Amino acid sequence: MLAQIGLGLISGGYATGAALGWGSEELALVMGDFGLSAAALAAAVSCFLYARRHLGSFRPAWLLFAFSSFMASVGNGVWGWYEVVLDREVPTPSLADLCFLLFAPPAIVGLLVLAKKPVTRAGWICLALDAWLIGGSLLTLSWSLALAHTARVETAEGESVARAALSLAYPLLDIVLVSMVLALHFRRSHANRSAVNTAIAALALTVLCDALFTSPLLREHYSSGQLLDAGWFAGSLLLAYAPWGARRTADPAAATRARHPHSRPLAGSLAALTPYLAAAVCTLGILYNVVEGRRVDRVVVFTGCTVVLALVLRQGIMLLDNIALTHELAQKENHFRSLVQGSSDVIMIAAPTGILRYVSPAASGVYGREAEDLIGSELASLIHPEDLGGVVHEVRRFLAASPSEEPTTRIECRFRSGRGDWLNVESTVNRHQGGLIFNSRDVTERVRLQAQLRHNAEHDPLTDLPNRALFTERVRNALSGRRSSDPGTAVLFIDLDGFKGVNDRLGHQAGDELLIQAARRLQDSVRAGDTAARLGGDEFAALILGDGNRDRAARECQVHEIADRLRVTLSQPYRVDGANEVRVAASIGVAFAEPGISAGDLLRNADLAMYRAKAGGKDRVELYAPQMQAEVVRRTELAARLRTALHDGEFALLHQPVVDLSTGRIAAVAAQARWRSAQGILFTPAEFLRVSDDSERSAELGRWLLEEAVEQAAERAGIGHRTPVTIRLSARLLLDRSLPLGSVESLLTRHGLPSGSLIIELAESDPRDPRVSFEELEQRLAALRRLGVKIALDGFGSGHAAITALRRLPVDILKLDRGLVEGVVESARLRKITSGLLRIAGDLGMQSVADGVDVPEQVLALRSMGCTHGQGMAFSGPLDEYRLRRALVRDEYPLPGAVSVSVGNRPPFRSNSETPVPPT
């Protein structure tokens, strides 16, 4: 913009000075001659420098313009030399005339370089004919008006042939230059259009001034420095500015053409009319001579005839070209029609009113409806009502957008087919004369496949329940939607206890059948708006949406009932693998939504509650409580330390005496592990076994307990204390392949423990536990008995499981459940139950051991019922090896209601208070 303003100010200043006469005749001559020379030289330097820096296809044109301007600069310099320096008239002809004549040819060739090149031979011929039509017409008109008169006058005055030719050369070259400017104006290249337009305007201004200068009326009174020089001066500056300043406006010009799309048809119309306008000018020149009564000049007649001949030739070429174009257009139309008719896509053209004006034949194969039936119908009537709003919105947005920024858009909706169903259709939409073109294709299979893939990604492949990702998303939606403030929303985490045993015993196929049946039961048990999901393995979950009830206690009770009913349902027997009937239990954790809780926290809370249910005995429902999180952190830290406790020697072995209730002598010692952690905390077996969660760590601990107890018992037997040692092991550990039968025998042999000195106390012997095969357990216990190992059944009297185990397993000793012993004094009902169980043991010829005998009253009651042995704080707590050996030396504890007696040289019994007990 600054360059354009500066250019205008300089040109305007020169024009003002020329109009006012520059103040003196000498200054007018200097500005008229050397000023024009300087302006032309500036144009020459500018075009030359631009051509050197930019190596493009237009470089020759700017070099030619530089040479043309240099000739004009030299011509004006020679003219000034004569008028200003030599102070005399410029001779005719002179060097200045030669330079001025050399201005036009390079400019004409430069215009040809800038023009858009024809691609055919006919195009080149038409370009030459168009140039001659314009030039010949201008020559005819100019000859009729002035050139013929000028030629006759100079010939009559006896001027030389060179002077007469020079007088005619200026206007003839100007006519050629004007012809080329007009002929090439509509053929200029699209590249750097603004710079080309500026150069053409500069040359046109120069030619106009030349035409005015060559007119006889103006030339007779012309002198340097007049207003006519301002036109030449502005033309030179405009040409100097063209390659540099106008180049930056190329993109805005392209944007202007994009905003005015109808300018090109107008330009094309003017280009087509140019030859006919030229012929009209030629005709006017001839008519002018006839009207004025002049004799028609031979030059006019010859030129007119050539113009007419050129026009006829051009029309013939255009006719042939039009025939070829028509034939090519027909071929392309047939090709396009074949493409449209053979395409599997449906092409529809809709008017601005939404009425279909054209539908391709492919509609019959895609939509099941003939194209003729669709033409004339409204497009909206074919679109699914649920999709119509979105389609209308997208179409309005597309039509409001700029065509250059968004030429097409894509719409996907459902179309009504001729079969009455709805097809998923994807359409590419283009603008068409105010309406729209739809290129549509049937994507129903693709949509169905995408839906199937999405379903597979969000559902469990085995049970077809929502998976963890979809369940988490639905929980997140429940917490963030209109139910976000409903405290009744709850999540249930469900774990099938004993499922691993089903897989181990019956195989994974049976396990998969069980999971499918469990999923079906879970799905049938929840409401329609709730969600049942499988999270993985034998873990399931359910989302129970709130009903708006603000009574939290009532809501918790209701959800607890739902969870308990679900627990009972999932615990019912399953028939798998044909005829096998298996049972699994369900541990369920429940967590309720709270204000501001996230989906992840709610799921974590339900998971914690589920693990609390498993730790509390399984087959139960547990509600989440905040302290569970702290307990999990504690258990995690404890489990991490437990992993290295065995290897770091943090475990110690204590023994608690088992006393004969008839004599008070020690009949056996029960081995118990204690863990004294690095922090000095002493953990009981119940604590660290709960942390180990019956995993590999629990098995490793059981093997350590067995080997350590046998080794210490053998050492005691070596010094004369042959008291049997009792070791409590789980049924699963006995069946663990990491503890084979031969390992127990080799252990007894290696340490030399006498036969009958090892008692294995069997724990967790529920025949309903699918993780334990009772057939294998029976065989294992029988093999151990053949080695001289005695078998004690722990937890006798705790329920149906112990009775069943007693019936099926080879057992030597029955150990009463601690729950019976604790209430045997206070409860008459428990006394009757305990008495009955002890009578069963006596009838079977088995010894009986009461665990948890802590007070003398329990000793008296149990002994009166026929119990043979007791273990508990009424006699002694767990003892380390040193205190144990001292107790074995005494070998007798005082019994309530009995008199102390001496056995051999042993001292009389002391009271239990004399025996220090380590902390437990």
Res 853: pLDDT: 93
Q: pLDDT tens digits for 133-166?
A: 666 665 665 555 555 555 555 544 544 444 545 5
* HEC secondary structure over 560-596: HHHHHHHHHHHCCCEEECCCEEECCEEEEEEEECCCC
Q: Is the pLDDT of residue 774 over 80?
A: no
Is residue 441 classed as helix, strand or coil in its secondary structure? Answer: strand
Residue type, 904: G
Asked if the model's pLDDT at residue 547 lies above 70, the reply is yes
pLDDT at 193 exceeding the cut of 90: no
- Pairing type for strands 869-871 and 621-623 reads unpaired
Tell the burial category of 20 from Cβ atoms under 10 Å away from its Cβ (0-12, 13-18, 19+): exposed
Give dist(CA 79, CA 95) in Å, integer.
9
Separation between Cα atoms, residue 105 and residue 103, nearest integer Å: 6
Q: How confident is the model at residue 28 (pLDDT cuts 50, 70, 90)?
A: confident
Residue 382's nearest CA partner among 400, 357, 355, 403 is: 355
Residue 362, pLDDT above cutoff 60: yes
What percent of the chain has a predicted confidence (pLDDT) above 90? 20
Q: What is the average per-residue pLDDT within 908-919? A: 33
596-609 pLDDT, tens digit each: 888 899 999 999 99
Residue 130 and residue 179 in contact, taking contact as beta carbons nearer than 8 Å: no
Strands 580-582 and 585-592: unpaired
pLDDT at residue 656 greater than cutoff 90: yes
Q: Which of residues 365 and 430 earns the better pLDDT score? A: 430
pLDDT at 465: 93
Compare 849 and 373 and report the one with higher pLDDT. Answer: 849
> pLDDT tens digit string along 5-25?
888 888 888 888 888 888 788
Cα 275 from Cα 134, distance rounded (Å): 7
pLDDT recorded at residue 215: 63
Q: Is residue 257 predicted with pLDDT exceeding 50? A: no
Is 106 within 8 Å of 64 (Cβ atoms)? Answer: yes
- Mean pLDDT of the 395-402 span: 89
CA distance 806 to 840: 11
Q: What pLDDT is recorded for position 904?
A: 37
Please say if the pLDDT value at position 823 is more than 90: no
Report d(CA 667, CA 651) in Å as an integer: 26
Instruction: Express each pLDDT in 745-771 by its tens digit.
Output: 888 888 888 888 999 998 765 555 555
Res 264: pLDDT: 45
Mean pLDDT of the 828-845 span: 89
Using the 8-state DSSP alphabet, how is residue 879 labeled? B
Identify the three-state secondary structure at position 804.
helix
Please tell me the predicted confidence (pLDDT) of residue 902. 38
Q: What pLDDT does residue 775 have?
A: 80
Render pLDDT for 475-533 as a digit per residue (tens, 0 to 9): 998 888 666 666 778 999 999 988 888 887 888 888 899 999 999 999 998 888 899 99
Euclidean distance between CA atoms 377 and 383, whole angstroms: 12
Residue 93, classed as helix, strand or coil, is: coil
Q: Which of 641, 644, 609, 645 is nearest to 625 (CA)?
A: 609
> What are the tokens at 434?
């105010």
Out of 210-214, 338-342, 830-834, 847-851, least confident range: 338-342
More confident residue, 869 or 175: 869
Q: What angle do CA 465, 470, 476 make, to 5 degrees?
A: 135
Q: What is the mean pLDDT of the chain?
A: 79
Sheet strands side by side (includes 490-497): 531-536, 539-544, 490-497, 585-592, 621-623
SS (H, E, C) 185-210: HCCECCCCHHHHHHHHHHHHHHHHHH
Residue 900 has pLDDT above 60, yes or no: no
The three-class DSSP label of residue 292 is coil
Between 565 and 282, the higher pLDDT residue: 565
